[in-house]
Structure 1
C-alpha cells in the first residue's frame, strides 16, 4: 500500500520552496499580503499530486486563496507543513481545504510574532553589531560580511524550516510555539540583548559641551566632567532609555524617533548644549 501512495518529489519540494523564498511577497498588498506568494509556492505541489485533473487542481488550490501574512523566514515552516497536509489529502486522509485554512490561520500570527522578535529584533541586530565592528575606519569588510552571512542564513534557514515542516507536519510548528521553542527563543533574546548592549556601549556616545564661565572667561563648571565624575556615560544611558520609552511604551515608530533625536540635537547645538565639532 505504501508504494501506491502519492509522494511529492524532492524536485517539486525544491521548486515550491524556491518560489516561496523568492516570491513570498509577490503582488503584496494590504488586502492580500503574502497570499499570492503562498499560492504560487503550492502550485507545483498541486500539479504533481493531481496530474491531468484540472477540476481537482482548481478545487484544492482554492484553500490557498485566503488571506495569509506571517514572518517570511519562519513562515516557511508553515508552507512545508501545508505541503505535508496536501500530500495526506491526496492519499485519502480526512483533510479538506477548511482544515488547511484553520491550520495556517491559527499559526501565521504566532509565527509572525516569534519571527519578528527573533529575526528582526535579535538576529539582525547581532549581525549588524558584528558588521559595525568590522567596518572601523570605513572598511567595506563589515558590509560584505553582513550581505553574505545574512543571505546564507536567510536561504538555508528557510530551507531547513520548510523541509522540517514537510517532514514533521504540525509537529515542527509545535516546537516553535511550544515550551522548548519558548526556552530557545528566550536564550537567543538574552544573547541578542547582550550584543545590542555591547554595540550601544561601543558606538553610541552622547556628551555635552555646556560650560559655565565667570566674568574673566574662566570655566568654573564643565558639565561633562561633572557628569563623568558621577556616572560616566550617563547621557548615553538617558538617550537610550528615552528612545526605548518612545518606541516601547509610546509606540513611536523608529523613523519618528530618529526625527525627534534630530530635533533635540539641532536645538542642543543652537543653545550650545552639544558641540558637533564642525568648523565654519
Structure 2
C-alpha cells in the first residue's frame, strides 16, 4: 500500500468512543496529578494509554509513545482539550504511516498549551464560573435551595465543552496531519511550534520571574547610587534574564534532578535575601 493510499484511507484505528474515553480520563485526572517537575504530564499520559495501546501493539513502540507524553505539559484542562484530540490524531497517523516524528507531537503540544491555557482561564475561570457562582450566591442569599445546586452547572458545562473540543481537535487534527504529510510540512511544523513555545516561555518568564537588588553605593556628598537603577539603564529585567539563562545552563548539563534544583533555588534565594543582595 502506498503512502497516498494510507493517508486517504478512511478506516480509523481510533473511534469516537475511544476519543471520549480519553477525554473522560483527562477530565478526571488533569488537576489531580500535578507535580512540580512535569505538572499535568502524568494525567495526559494516563489519558492517552487506551489509545496508545491500540495504536502500538509492539512493546518498544508503546514505551516510546508513553515516554513522549510524559514530557512537561500544562494547560487549562477544558479549553486545552483540542491538544488531546490533535495528539490522538497525530499518534494515529504516526502508527499508520511512520512519517510523523515524535518530536512533532511534542512540539505541537508545547506550542499550543500556553495560548489555549490563556483562553481557558479567561472564559472558564474568569467569566463562566463568575457568572454561575454569582447566580448561585444570589439564590443562596435568599434561602433558596437552588443556590446549593447551581454551581454544579459549571462542572457540567465545562465537561461538555471539553468533550466537544476533544472531538473537534481529533477531527481537525486528523485532516491537518494528512495535509501536512501530503505537503511535506513536518519540519516547518516542528520549527513553527517550537518558536511559538519559546515565545510563550519568554512571556511567562517576564511575568513570573521577579528579581531586584537593594544594593546601593555611597558616593560623595552623602548621595547613594542604586545598583538596580544602573541595571535598569542597561537592560530592564537583566537580573531575571541572567537567572533564567543560569538555570537553563544547568538543565543542559545532562540529567538533572528537578526537585533538587528547585530546593537549591529556594536556598540560594533565602541566602541572598538574608545577605541583602536580592
Q: 2:256 aligns to what?
A: none
Work out which of the residue numbers 98, 105, 122 in structure 1 matches 2:103.
98
Q: Distance in 2 between matches of 1:171 and 1:129?
A: 41
Q: 1:49 aligns to what?
A: 55
CA RMSD of aligned residues (A): 2.1
Kindly name which structure, 1 or 2, has the bigger radius of gyration based on alpha carbons. 1
Q: Deviations over 1:246-269 (max 9, x none)?
A: xxxxxxxxxxxxxxxxxxxxxxxx
The 3 A distance-change label for structure 1 pair 145 and 171 is: farther
Tell me if 1:63 matches 2:100. no
Partner SS, residue 164 of structure 1: helix
Tell me if 1:169 matches 2:206. no
Size of the alignment, in residue pairs?
Answer: 170
Contact 2:124–2:158 (CA under 8 A) maintained in structure 1: no
Q: Distance in 2 between matches of 1:13 and 1:135?
A: 38
Greater mean deviation of Cα atoms: 26-35 or 155-164 = 26-35
Tell me if 1:83 matches 2:88. yes
Q: 1:16 aligns to what?
A: 22
Tell me if 1:118 matches 2:123. yes
TM-score for both structures, normalised by structure 1: 0.57
Segments of 4+ in structure 1 off by > 3 A?
Answer: 1-6
The Cα shift of 1:136 comes to 3.4
Q: Deviations over 1:74-99 (max 9, x none)?
A: 11111011101111111115211100
Q: 1:184 aligns to what?
A: none
The Cα shift of 1:5 comes to 5.1
Q: Which runs of 5+ in 2 are unaligned?
A: 177-278
Contact 1:62–1:97 (CA under 8 A) maintained in structure 2: no
Q: Distance in 1 between matches of 2:174 and 2:30?
A: 21
Contact 1:5–1:91 (CA under 8 A) maintained in structure 2: no
Q: 1:153 aligns to what?
A: 157
Q: Distance in 1 between matches of 2:95 and 2:105?
A: 13
Tell me if 1:127 matches 2:132. yes
The 3 A distance-change label for structure 1 pair 99 and 34 is: same
Q: Which runs of 5+ in 1 are unaligned?
A: 173-280
Q: Deviations over 1:4-36 (max 9, x none)?
A: 855212332222111101111343122121010
Q: Distance in 2 between matches of 1:103 and 1:110?
A: 12
Q: 2:268 aligns to what?
A: none
TM-score for both structures, normalised by structure 2: 0.57
Q: Deviations over 1:150-185 (max 9, x none)?
A: 12102111101111110111889xxxxxxxxxxxxx
